[in-house]
Structure 1
Amino acid sequence: MKRQLLKLSAVAASALVLSACGSPESGTTQCTMEPQENWLDQGQFQQSLKDQGYKISEFKVTEGNCYEIYGVNQSQQKVEIYFNPVDGSVVKKEVE
């Protein structure tokens, strides 16, 4: 019985340490929890960005449920942008 309690205590302590450190994906930018049927159409969204002057070299859906682009903006600066795929809002943006 005592041995089982020690094992349970070790498991509980491990779980506490892991929760304090965060999950392996804690560095992931999270954009939405909405199901994909509520997302903007990928093709139409990319076209709207091109219409705004973006030149997209890469477009992908991230693990954090974002539309992410790599490319060049209207000012010819390199960009990496994460968009909320539900409403198209910018969640995170890096410009060089």
Structure 2
Amino acid sequence: MNMRVFIPLTLAAAAAVALVSAPASATGVIKCKAGPVSGWKTQDELTKKLTKEGWTVRKSKVDGGCYEVYGTTPEGDRVEAYFHPVTLEKLYVGRRGEVLFRKQGY
């Protein structure tokens, strides 16, 4: 095999192995120190709370020890928001790279 072809192929293979073997990690902008999951309120409780406040929740998941919500605010903004899983307190709301709300200390 030609060395000009061999070296780029070797580098590409090494990069692919590194990507596949990299551990999954949280991608969120907020991290919560919320203690054991047994003390958390449920995602369903958060969805009900937000719906009562006028939000539309499309999806929620755990990220960085917080609840991450994709939805629409009562004002009509499509956002990504983070809530504390024990208190359900709003910690962060962002829209396409723009921070709409960020609780002090987070």
Give TM-score scaled by structure 2 length.
0.59
Q: Which runs of structure 2 are paired with 1:1-96 in the superposition (5 Å)? A: 28=28, 29-62=30-63, 64-95=64-95
Conserved? CA contact 1:32–1:85, under 8 Å: no
Structure with higher helix content: 1
Deviations 1:4-61 (A, max 9, x none): xxxxxxxxxxxxxxxxxxxxx6974211241011111221221111111111111111
Pick 1 or 2: higher relative contact order, CA cutoff 8 A, min separation 6.
Answer: 1
Deviations 1:55-87 (A, max 9, x none): 11111111x111010111111111110111011
Moved over 2 A (4+): 25-29
The one-letter amino acid of 2:75's match is S
CA RMSD of aligned residues (A): 2.1
d(CA) in 2 for partners of 1:56, 1:26: 21
Structure with higher strand content: 2
Q: 1:26 to 1:58 in 2, by over 3 A?
A: closer
Q: How many residues align?
A: 72
Identity %: 28
Offset at 1:93? 1.4
The one-letter amino acid of 1:74's match is P
